Amino acid sequence: MASIDLHHICKVEGHGSLHVEINGSKLTRCELKVVEGARFFEGLVKGKRYDDIQEITSRICGICSCAHTVSCLQAIENAMGIKVSEQTRRLRELLSIAERIRSHATHLYFLSLPDYLGFESALAMAGKYKKEVLTALHLMKLGNNMVQLIGGKEMHPFTSVVGGFTHVPDKKTVDYLRKELKKALPEAIATAMLFMKLKPPGFVTDMDFISLNPEKEAPLISGEIITLSGLKIKPADYTNYIDEEVMPYSIGKFSKLKGKTFCAGAIARVNNNYKNLSKKAKKIFEQAKLKLPLTNPFYNNFCQAVELVHWIEQGHALLNYHFKFEGLPMITARTGRGVSAVEAPRGILFHDYTINDKGFVEKCNIITPTAQNLRAIEANVKQLVEQMLGKKKSKEQIILETEKLIRAYDPCFSCSAHFLKVSWKRK
Partner 1 sequence: MRKILVFGNPYLKEDNLAIKIGKKLNIKGFETIICAKPDDLLSHDLNNSVMLDVAKGINAVTAFDNIDSLEFSVIFSLHDFDLSFFLKLLKETGKLKKARIIGIPKSYDEKSALREVKDIIKEVFQ
Footprint (CB under 8 A) of partner 1, residues 41-70: 62-63
Taking each helix axis as running N to C, give the angle between helix 300-318 and helix 171-197, from 0 to 180 degrees, rounded to the nearest 10.
160
Is residue 235 a contact residue for partner 1 (CB under 8 A)?
no
The continuous run of DSSP H or E covering 172 comes out as helix 171-197
Nearest CB to partner 1, comparing residues 8 and 182: 8
Is residue 130 a contact residue for partner 1 (CB under 8 A)?
yes
Is residue 39 a contact residue for partner 1 (CB under 8 A)?
no
| Cα-only R_g, the chain | 21
Nearest CB to partner 1, comparing residues 310 and 418: 418
Is residue 13 a contact residue for partner 1 (CB under 8 A)?
yes
Q: How many amino acids of this chain bind partner 1 (CB under 8 A)? A: 29
| From 83, 86, 127, 197, residue interacting with partner 1 (rule: CB under 8 A) | 127
The two beta strands, 262-264 and 208-213, are parallel
The backbone torsions φ and ψ at residue 23, rounded to the nearest 5 degrees and listed phi first, read -115, 110
Which residue stretch of 46-54, 135-143, 372-380, 387-395 sits at the interface with partner 1 (rule: CB under 8 A)? 135-143
Is residue 307 a contact residue for partner 1 (CB under 8 A)?
no
Smallest separation (angstroms) from partner 1 to the CB of 109: 11
Is residue 38 a contact residue for partner 1 (CB under 8 A)?
no
Nearest CB to partner 1, comparing residues 159 and 271: 159
| From 2, 134, 317, 400, residue interacting with partner 1 (rule: CB under 8 A) | 134
Is residue 11 a contact residue for partner 1 (CB under 8 A)?
yes
Footprint (CB under 8 A) of partner 1, residues 315-344: none
Its sign, for the CA torsion 112, 295, 211, 45, is: negative
User: Is the separation of the CB atoms in 399 and 381 below 8 Å?
Assistant: no
Its sign, for the CA torsion 212, 215, 220, 224, is: negative
Question: Pattern of binders to partner 1 over 68-107, x per CB under 8 A?
Answer: -----------------------------------x--xx
Nearest CB to partner 1, comparing residues 103 and 300: 103
How many whole angstroms separate alpha carbon 188 and alpha carbon 105?
9
Is residue 414 a contact residue for partner 1 (CB under 8 A)?
yes
| From 4, 6, 14, 318, residue interacting with partner 1 (rule: CB under 8 A) | 14
The continuous run of DSSP H or E covering 255 comes out as strand 254-257
| Residues 293-318: b if buried by 16+ CB within 10 A, e if exposed | ebbbbbbbbbbbbbbbbbbbbbbbeb
How many whole angstroms separate alpha carbon 231 and alpha carbon 153?
38
Is residue 192 a contact residue for partner 1 (CB under 8 A)?
no
Is residue 121 a contact residue for partner 1 (CB under 8 A)?
yes
Is residue 8 a contact residue for partner 1 (CB under 8 A)?
yes
| Residues 203-215: b if buried by 16+ CB within 10 A, e if exposed | beeebbbbbbbee
The two beta strands, 420-426 and 361-367, are unpaired
Q: Footprint of partner 1 on this chain (CB under 8 A)?
A: 8, 10-14, 62-63, 103, 106-107, 110-111, 121-123, 126-127, 130, 133-134, 137-138, 140-141, 144, 153-154, 414
